[in-house]
Amino acid sequence: MRFYYKLMLAAGLLLGVQQARAQFTGTWAKADIPLPYNRRYQVGDILFDPAQDRADFALRPSGRIYQYYNFNTTYSGGRPELRRQLLAALRTPPAGTSGSGYLTVRFVVNFRGETDRFRVQELDSGYQPQAFAPPLVAWVLRACRDLHSWQPGRIDAETQDSYFYCTFIVREGSIQDVLL
Amino acid sequence: MIRYALVLLLSLLFRPVAAQPNCLIYQAGSPERAACELYLQALELPQGSIQSQVYFDRVIALCPTFAAAYHEKSVPFLKRGDFLTWKKLIDEAVRLQPDRYLADRGWCRFKFLRDYRGALADITRLQQLTRNQPGQSGDGNYDLRILAALCQRELGDLRAALTTFDACIADNKPLDRVGLYDYLHRGVTKLRLHDYAGALADFKLQRTVNGKLAETDYYTALILRQQHQPDASARMQIARQLWQQGYRLNDPYMSMPDEISLPDIDRFLQQQ
Q: A150, A68 in Cβ contact below 8 A?
A: no
**With an 8 Å Cβ cutoff, are A43 and B262 in contact?**
no
For A128, name the nearest residue in chain B, comparing CA atoms only.
B84
Sign of torsion over alpha carbons A27, A32, A37, A42: positive
**With an 8 Å Cβ cutoff, are A38 and B112 in contact?**
no
**What is the residue extent of each domain of chain B?**
17-96, 102-176, 180-272
For B83, name the nearest residue in chain A, comparing CA atoms only.
A127
The residues of chain B scoring below 50 in pLDDT are: 1, 7-17
Q: A60, A161 in Cβ contact below 8 A?
A: yes
Residues of chain A with Cβ-Cβ distance to B254 below 8 Å are 79, 179-180
CATH number of B17-96: 1.25.40
Tens digits of per-residue pLDDT, A59-104?
999 889 999 999 989 999 888 889 999 999 999 999 988 899 999 9
Tens digits of per-residue pLDDT, B30-46?
999 999 999 999 999 99
For B266, name the nearest residue in chain A, comparing CA atoms only.
A77
DSSP letters of B132-159? T---B-TTSS-BHHHHHHHHHHHTT-HH
Count other Cβ atoms within 10 Å, centred on residue A96.
Answer: 9
pLDDT of residue B245: 97
Mutate one of A28, A32, A42, A43 to test the B interface: name it (highest B CB count within 10 A).
A43
pLDDT of residue A165: 97
Buried b (16+ CB within 10 A) or exposed e, B221-241: bbbbbeeeeeebbebbebbbe
**With an 8 Å Cβ cutoff, are A80 and B79 in contact?**
no
* Shortest CA gap B11–chain A (Å): 15
Residue type, B250: N
Residues of chain B with Cβ-Cβ distance to A167 below 8 Å are 81, 83, 112-113
A4 contact partners, CB below 8 Å, separation of at least 6: A40, A63
pLDDT of residue A40: 77
Residues of chain B with Cβ-Cβ distance to A86 below 8 Å are none
* Shortest CA gap B103–chain A (Å): 18
Q: How far is residue B83 from each of residues A44, A126, B86, measured CA to CA in Å?
A: 11, 11, 5
**With an 8 Å Cβ cutoff, are B81 and A102 in contact?**
no
Helix B182-192, helix B196-209: angle, nearest 10: 170
Which of B48, B79, B262 lies nearest to residue A77, judging by beta carbons?
B262
DSSP letters of chain A? -HHHHHHHHHHHHHH-HHHHHHHHHT-S--TTS-GGGTTT-BTT-----TTTS-TT----TT---EEHHHHT-EETT-HHHHHHHHHHHTSSPPTT----EEEEEEEEE-TTS-EEEEEEEEE-TTS-B----HHHHHHHHHHHHT---EE--EETTEE--EEEEEEEEEETTEEEEEE-
Which of B85, B252, B255 lies nearest to residue A28, judging by beta carbons?
B85
Whether chain A has a CB inside 8 Å of the CB on B49: the answer is yes
**With an 8 Å Cβ cutoff, are A121 and B48 in contact?**
no
Which of A44, A78, A81 lies nearest to residue B80, judging by beta carbons?
A44
Could you give the angle at the alpha carbon of B256 between the alpha carbons of A119 and B261, nearest 5°? 90
Residue A3, Cβ density class (10 Å: 0-12 exposed, 13-18 middle, ≥19 buried)? exposed
A1 contact partners, CB below 8 Å, separation of at least 6: A59, A61, A63
**With an 8 Å Cβ cutoff, are A80 and B51 in contact?**
no
**With an 8 Å Cβ cutoff, are A129 and B255 in contact?**
no
Which of A41, A179, A180 lies nearest to residue B50, judging by beta carbons?
A41
**With an 8 Å Cβ cutoff, are B113 and A106 in contact?**
no
Residue type, B232: A
The residues of chain A scoring below 70 in pLDDT are: 1-39
CATH of B180-272, one of 1.25.40, 1.10.260, 2.40.10, 2.60.40: 1.25.40
Whether chain A has a CB inside 8 Å of the CB on B84: the answer is yes
**What is the residue extent of each domain of chain A?**
1-51, 64-179
Residues of chain B with Cβ-Cβ distance to A129 below 8 Å are 84
CA-based nearest residue to B179, from B135, B221, B129: B135
For B73, name the nearest residue in chain A, comparing CA atoms only.
A43
3-class SS at B174?
helix
Whether chain A has a CB inside 8 Å of the CB on B25: the answer is no
**With an 8 Å Cβ cutoff, are A31 and B54 in contact?**
yes
CA-based nearest residue to B265, from A63, A127, A10, A77: A77
